[in-house]
């Protein structure tokens, strides 16, 4: 069989590590995976990017390099971030329209050049190697960092907002498994939503309780209702994913949070925060 060379950009982040962990259980002998980060090349530089492609000659690319952040980072830097169902939420319209343009580009490159590009739409991702910044990172990662500090310094554990909004989460290792499947098997240009099942949607309050239980924290839990908490509900349907993979098993969120907390505890000094 001909060798398949898969170049992964932005691989030093949470999703890149999720793919690497997933490959430990599902790597094919004819696949050569190359994991790159910003240290290898500035992808905003056309010539540097061209040199990278000439060096590795990839047959496939998983493009993960991106500017990412949580709700508050999106709200404060909408211009910097520049699901089709009407206008996106105001809190992240810059980020959202940028993602929509990726879909448009996938179609036009297919029409004009025959390229087989697609994009994925994951729900809220969490896991080891996330950005655990208290304000600029992802919500669940921020809760984990807050719980760590609350336990360590005997402080209240503060959840921003009422905790009532509902969210879907996907563990980074599960996302890694699904990205590998998309690369190998998914035949469509149309994007695919990679999200946990709708019945697994969970409130921010209940998510926080799972986090503090994972730490063994038994102190005070406080809700700061002066803080914005975004949309109440933004459920994504994974019906297309289930059409292709009806038997895919998502890691239970309790287990996934416990594994992420364990990683964060062991790697606190080097974790992104």
Domain holding 248, by residue range, is: 67-266
Within a domain: residue 26?
Answer: no
Within a domain: residue 135?
Answer: yes
Within a domain: residue 47?
Answer: no
Within a domain: residue 2?
Answer: no
Distance (Å, rounded) from C-alpha 88 to C-alpha 212?
Answer: 32
Q: What is the CATH number of the domain that holds 166?
A: 3.40.50.720
Q: Which of 107, 233, 113, 260 is nearest to 174 (CA)?
A: 260
Contact status, residue 232 vs residue 165, Cβ threshold 8 Å? yes
pLDDT tens for residues 213-238?
999 999 999 999 998 777 888 888 99
pLDDT of residue 240: 97
pLDDT tens for residues 106-150?
999 999 999 999 999 999 999 999 999 988 788 999 999 999 999
Distance (Å, rounded) from C-alpha 263 to C-alpha 173?
Answer: 13
Catalytic residue among 82, 93, 95, 109: 95
End-to-end alpha carbon distance in the chain: 43
Model confidence, pTM? 0.88
Within a domain: residue 56?
Answer: no
pLDDT of residue 93: 72
Within a domain: residue 143?
Answer: yes
Distance (Å, rounded) from C-alpha 220 to C-alpha 224?
Answer: 13
Region 17-30 average pLDDT: 94
pLDDT band (50, 70, 90) for residue 86: low
pLDDT of residue 78: 46
Within a domain: residue 40?
Answer: no
Contact status, residue 222 vs residue 159, Cβ threshold 8 Å? yes
Distance (Å, rounded) from C-alpha 113 to C-alpha 110?
Answer: 5
When divided into structural domains, the chain yields a total of: 1
Within a domain: residue 118?
Answer: yes
Query: Is the per-residue pLDDT at 70 higher than 90?
Result: no
Residues 6+ apart with CB under 8 A from 147: 157, 208, 211, 212, 214, 215, 217, 261
109 catalytically annotated: no
Query: Does 114 or 99 have the greater pLDDT score?
Result: 114
């Amino acid at each position: 069989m001909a060798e398949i060379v898969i170049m992964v950009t932005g691989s030093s982040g949470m999703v890149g590590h999720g793919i690497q962990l997933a490959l430990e259980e599902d790597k094919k002998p004819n696949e050569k995976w190359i994991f790159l980060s910003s240290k290898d090349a500035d992808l905003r530089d056309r010539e540097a990017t061209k040199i990278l492609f000439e060096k590795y000659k990839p047959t496939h690319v998983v493009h993960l390099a991106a500017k990412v952040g949580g709700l508050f980072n999106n709200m404060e830097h909408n211009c910097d971030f520049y699901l089709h169902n009407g206008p996106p939420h105001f809190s992240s319209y810059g980020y959202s329209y940028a993602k929509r343009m990726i879909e448009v580009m996938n179609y036009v490159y297919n029409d004009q050049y025959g390229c087989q590009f697609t994009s994925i739409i994951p729900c809220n991702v969490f896991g080891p190697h996330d950005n655990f910044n208290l304000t600029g990172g992802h919500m669940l990662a921020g809760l984990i960092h807050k719980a760590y500090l609350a336990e360590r310094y005997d402080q209240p554990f503060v959840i921003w907002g009422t905790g009532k909004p509902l969210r879907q989460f996907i563990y980074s290792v599960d996302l890694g498994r699904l990205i590998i499947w998309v690369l190998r098997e998914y035949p469509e240009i149309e994007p695919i939503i990679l999200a946990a099942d709708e019945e697994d949607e969970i409130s921010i309050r209940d998510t926080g309780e799972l986090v503090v239980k994972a730490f063994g924290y038994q102190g005070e839990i406080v809700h700061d209702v002066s803080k914005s908490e975004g949309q109440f509900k933004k459920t994504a349907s994974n019906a297309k994913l289930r059409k292709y993979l009806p038997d895919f098993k998502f890691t239970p969120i309790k287990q996934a949070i416990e594994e992420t907390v364990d990683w964060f505890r062991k790697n606190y000094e080097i974790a992104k925060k």
